[in-house]
């Protein structure tokens, strides 16, 4: 194997092989990307054949779709014709084994290994799959191959899709190919866009976190239009960006919108947040960065099969009424992340409290006010064997690569609360992997989980411990008129309601009567009042709001709501976040009341 400078994952393969620890390797993760090495971009298979394994005498590549191809053949292969003409996987493996036993200095590359030895219960696998599984497992234990200086590399994107017999085998070294680092992306930008300045390269590299090299290159250098079309597109964009556009920027945008019609290209540019196509930005590279951000979101959402969604909230903490201690706590966390004070950032946050107390609204406002990239984790569970674990690994790899990211998980008790044995152990494996990722200290200050639930008692208890969800933030309905008033004012402002309500003057008719109402109920009252006032063309008054309160009937289960409130008190990590009525409650009294309510609501 070559001893030139290698990517970290390739160096790990080389050193493991030279130490004699393993001669069978399993590459997983970002295996379908392009590797930038020696100024050239090449696929993982090409990199293995041309760089990492280049000193081998025979390099044989098997793809279940295309069959066997020899990337290099400097030694005699006795069964050459048999291998080149065979397309049955079991017979190909038998032929490869014969080659391994009769020829020294052989490297085998098996692509899409999950289709050769797939995951699943052994009794449900085909005879061919079972034979392939046993054959590959046996190769890893056979010292004959290792003594002959032979090596086998299996390639599979997701480990859970591969036979666990192989994944758990200590003689098969599983090596993850990570997404490109910021330094690697900056080098790629320099290669595909030599005109970019050092500052522009750094900004593009930072913004493209989470993208593969092949995706970043596809955005910056699609190359789908003819030279004539490209020149015409440049002129069109240059005119659209007047008066502040320039040729260099127009050329970049023309490449990035390659393959679109003229109307689609201009509409796409208009949709990019912060870009006015008719009036260019003083930062002449802003359009390119904005378009990259838009394309990146589309690519990552598609890459994760729609299981994540980028959050782009339209409100910040100015739209959140009350909860001053909560907002202060969250903004301090965001400040520490932005300033790089990673040791002062919690690993995760738990938002808990009854429904309608504004947990999701506050999480989105936190994302907006903090400037952090925010994504929502959607349902990643699947009925197919290994698919749920594979989906989760895909999501976590993207999350880790993006960095400085807020991961919002709504209804956390549903996502991570089921540990029953009726799903083949999938839930327990998923929860174990989530807990492992959440407690990985290398993620501190880079990945912040915000898990929301109104039933924290249904969560796995270990996921709530310090080191995973360090801070527990309780949410409550307004306990006093003074608690309700900031919420009411924020709702009036948010919905642009014209009114003459003042506090404390109108407290008796409005806020005092909304004590105990959820934020969602208060919003419903505001909208109902606004509708009634709009029908007569008048502004909202305290009298009109009082009438709307009289008419509104909130749906509520008093026992369940109190139970959820007490759970939020019980989980809170700080007394200063509690309302006055709960600040002095003793733990014994709280536990007694919780037990009584639990018996009542169940």
pLDDT the model gives residue 284: 45
pLDDT the model gives residue 113: 95
**Domain boundary pick from 458, 474, 490:** 474
Is the pLDDT at 463 greater than 50? The verdict is yes
Same domain flag for 19 and 150: yes
Indicate whether 319 belongs to any domain.
Answer: yes
How crowded is residue 75: how many other Cβ atoms within 10 Å of its Cβ?
Answer: 14
pLDDT the model gives residue 405: 85
Same domain flag for 322 and 462: yes
- Burial (Cβ within 10 Å: 0-12, 13-18, ≥19) of residue 243: exposed
Asked whether the CA dihedral 193, 196, 198, 200 is positive or negative, the reply is: negative
Same domain flag for 141 and 214: no
204-208, 283-287, 464-468: least confidently modelled range:
283-287
Same domain flag for 343 and 418: yes
> Residues 38-60: what's their mean pLDDT?
93
One-character DSSP codes across 368-427: HHHT-EEEEE-----SSTTHHHHHHHHHHHHHHHH-SEEEEESSHHHHH----GGGTTHH
* Structure tokens that stand for 172 in this block: 């098969």
* pLDDT band, very low/low/confident/very high, at 424 (cuts 50, 70, 90): low
> Residues 310-325: what's their mean pLDDT?
83
Check residues 392 and 450 and name the one with the higher pLDDT.
Answer: 450
Same domain flag for 546 and 584: yes
CA atoms in the 13 A half-sphere facing the CB of 13: 27
- Calculate the alpha carbon distances from 381 to 285, 390, 522 in Å: 40, 10, 35
> Residues 49-69: what's their mean pLDDT?
93
pLDDT the model gives residue 322: 77
- Calculate the alpha carbon distances from 112 to 85, 106, 395 in Å: 19, 20, 20
- Among 109, 83, 84, 103, residue whose Cα is nearest residue 94: 83
Q: Return d(Cα 580, Cα 566) in angstroms, integer.
A: 13
Same domain flag for 41 and 151: yes
pLDDT the model gives residue 210: 85
**Domain boundary pick from 275, 299, 323:** 299
Containing structural domain, residue 41: 8-177
Q: What average pLDDT does the chain have?
A: 83
Q: What is the pairing mode between strands 172-177 and 24-29?
A: parallel
- What percentage of the chain carries pLDDT values higher than 70? 85
* pLDDT band, very low/low/confident/very high, at 277 (cuts 50, 70, 90): very low
Check residues 317 and 114 and name the one with the higher pLDDT.
Answer: 114
Indicate whether 189 belongs to any domain.
Answer: yes
pLDDT the model gives residue 11: 95
**In 42-126, where does DSSP find H-type helix?**
44-47, 80-85, 89-102, 113-116
Indicate whether 532 belongs to any domain.
Answer: yes
Q: Return d(Cα 207, Cα 402) in angstroms, integer.
A: 9
- Among 173, 170, 153, 136, residue whose Cα is nearest residue 52: 153
Indicate whether 304 belongs to any domain.
Answer: no
- Burial (Cβ within 10 Å: 0-12, 13-18, ≥19) of residue 548: buried
Is the pLDDT at 4 greater than 60? The verdict is no
Is the pLDDT at 377 greater than 70? The verdict is yes
> Residues 366-388: what's their mean pLDDT?
74
Same domain flag for 445 and 325: yes
pLDDT the model gives residue 271: 62
> Residues 456-483: what's their mean pLDDT?
88
Is the pLDDT at 274 greater than 80? The verdict is no
Same domain flag for 294 and 316: no
Per-residue model confidence as pLDDT tens digits over 558-576: 788 888 989 999 999 888 8
Q: Return d(Cα 432, Cα 410) in angstroms, integer.
A: 19
Same domain flag for 596 and 485: yes
* pLDDT band, very low/low/confident/very high, at 243 (cuts 50, 70, 90): low
Q: Return d(Cα 447, Cα 400) in angstroms, integer.
A: 7
pLDDT the model gives residue 227: 54
pLDDT the model gives residue 319: 78
Same domain flag for 445 and 485: no
Contacts of 584 (CB under 8 A, 6+ apart): none
pLDDT the model gives residue 285: 55
Q: What is the CATH number of the domain that holds 147?
A: 3.40.50.300
Q: For the chain, how many structural domains are there in total?
A: 4
**Domain boundary pick from 424, 455, 474:** 474
> Residues 53-64: what's their mean pLDDT?
94
Indicate whether 314 belongs to any domain.
Answer: yes
Indicate whether 541 belongs to any domain.
Answer: yes
Same domain flag for 385 and 441: yes
pLDDT the model gives residue 59: 95
Phi, psi angles (nearest 5°) of residue 296: -60, -45
Check residues 4 and 400 and name the one with the higher pLDDT.
Answer: 400
Contacts of 109 (CB under 8 A, 6+ apart): 45, 48, 49, 53, 59, 60, 61, 62, 71, 153, 155
Per-residue model confidence as pLDDT tens digits over 209-225: 888 998 888 877 765 44
Same domain flag for 257 and 343: no
Q: Return d(Cα 253, Cα 232) in angstroms, integer.
A: 12
> Residues 271-291: what's their mean pLDDT?
51
pLDDT the model gives residue 591: 87
Indicate whether 101 belongs to any domain.
Answer: yes
Check residues 361 and 146 and name the one with the higher pLDDT.
Answer: 361
Q: Return d(Cα 480, Cα 579) in angstroms, integer.
A: 9
How crowded is residue 356: how many other Cβ atoms within 10 Å of its Cβ?
Answer: 21
């Amino acid at each position: 194997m070559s001893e030139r400078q290698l990517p970290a994952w390739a160096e790990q393969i080389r050193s493991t092989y030279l130490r004699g620890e393993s001669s069978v390797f399993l590459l997983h993760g970002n295996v379908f990307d392009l590797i930038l090495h020696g100024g050239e971009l090449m696929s993982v298979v090409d990199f293995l054949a041309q760089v990492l394994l280049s000193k081998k005498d025979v390099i044989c590549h098997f793809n279940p779709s295309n069959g066997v191809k020899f990337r290099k053949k400097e030694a005699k292969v006795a069964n050459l014709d048999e291998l080149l003409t065979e397309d049955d996987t079991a017979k190909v493996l038998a032929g490869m084994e014969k080659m391994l036993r009769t020829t020294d200095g052989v490297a085998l590359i098996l692509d899409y290994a999950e289709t050769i030895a797939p995951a699943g219960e052994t009794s449900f696998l085909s005879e061919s799959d079972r034979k392939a599984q046993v054959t590959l497992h046996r190769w890893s234990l056979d010292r004959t191959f290792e003594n002959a200086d032979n090596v086998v590399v299996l390639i599979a994107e997701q480990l859970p899709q591969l036979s666990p017999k192989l994944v758990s085998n200590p003689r098969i070294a599983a090596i993850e190919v990570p997404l490109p680092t910021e330094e690697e992306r900056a080098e790629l930008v320099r290669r595909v866009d030599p005109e970019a300045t050092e500052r522009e390269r750094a900004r593009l590299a930072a913004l493209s976190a989470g993208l593969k090299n092949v995706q970043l290159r596809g955005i910056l250098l699609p190359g789908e239009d003819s030279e004539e079309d490209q020149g015409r597109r440049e002129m069109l964009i240059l005119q659209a960006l007047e008066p502040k556009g320039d040729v260099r920027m127009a050329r970049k945008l023309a490449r990035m919108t390659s393959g679109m019609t003229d109307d689609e290209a201009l509409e796409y540019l208009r949709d990019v947040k912060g870009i006015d196509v008719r009036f260019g930005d003083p930062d002449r590279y802003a359009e390119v960065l904005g378009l990259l951000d838009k394309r990146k979101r589309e690519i990552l959402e598609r890459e994760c099969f729609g299981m994540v969604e980028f959050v782009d909230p339209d409100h910040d903490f100015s739209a959140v009424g009350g909860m001053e201690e909560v907002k202060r706590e969250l903004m301090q966390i965001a400040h520490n992340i932005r300033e790089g004070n990673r040791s002062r950032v919690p690993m995760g946050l738990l938002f808990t409290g009854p429904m309608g107390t504004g947990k999701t609204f506050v999480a989105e406002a936190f994302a907006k006010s903090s400037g952090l990239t925010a994504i929502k984790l959607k349902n990643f569970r699947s009925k197919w064997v290994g698919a749920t674990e594979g989906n989760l690994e895909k999501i976590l790899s993207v999350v880790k690569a993006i960095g400085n990211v807020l991961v919002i998980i709504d209804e956390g008790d549903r996502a991570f609360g089921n540990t029953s044995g009726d799903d083949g152990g999938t839930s327990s494996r998923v929860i174990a992997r989530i807990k492992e990722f959440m407690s990985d200290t290398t993620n501190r200050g880079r990945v912040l989980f915000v898990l929301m639930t109104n039933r924290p008692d249904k969560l796995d208890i270990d996921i709530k411990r310090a080191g995973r969800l360090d801070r527990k933030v309780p949410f409550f309905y307004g306990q006093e008129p003074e608690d309700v008033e900031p919420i009411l004012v924020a709702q009036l402002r948010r919905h642009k309601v014209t009114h003459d309500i003042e506090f404390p003057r109108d407290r008796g008719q409005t806020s005092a009567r909304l004590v105990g109402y959820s934020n969602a109920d208060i919003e419903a009252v505001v909208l109902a009042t606004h509708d009634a006032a709009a029908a007569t063309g008048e502004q909202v008054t305290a009298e009109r709001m009082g009438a709307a309160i009289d008419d509104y009937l909130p749906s509520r289960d008093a026992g369940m709501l109190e139970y959820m409130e007490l759970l939020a008190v019980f989980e809170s990590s700080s007394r200063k976040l509690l309302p006055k009525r709960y600040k002095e409650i003793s733990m014994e009294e709280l536990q007694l009341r919780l037990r009584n309510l639990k018996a009542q609501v169940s």
